[in-house]
Amino acid sequence: MKLDYDYIIVGSGFGGSVSTLCLSQKGYRALVVEKGKWYKSKDFAKTNWNFVKWLWMPELRPFGIMKMTYVRH
């Protein structure tokens, strides 16, 4: 396996994934490096009512995949 890349993209979020797509379509070799938890199918909530697996709010102990931010305005 050859470890030679033209670009290294840090993060697979919206910006990272779009950048990687555009670079690869132009013929560049791009590597995406991601820091995050590996999820298995059992880690996902079957319904929205399973707040512990659905909602991310560590101060209340749910560690799901959906983070909600409340703002005043």
pLDDT digits (tens, 9 = 90+) for 8-44: 999 888 899 999 999 999 999 999 998 877 778 887 7
Phi, then psi, of 51 in degrees rounded to 5: -60, -35
Nearest to 33 by CA among 50, 56, 17: 17
Place of tokens 């409340």: 70
pTM: 0.52
* Cβ-proximal residues to 53 (8 Å cutoff; 6+ apart), any chain: 43, 44, 45, 62, 64, 65
3-class SS of residue 34: coil
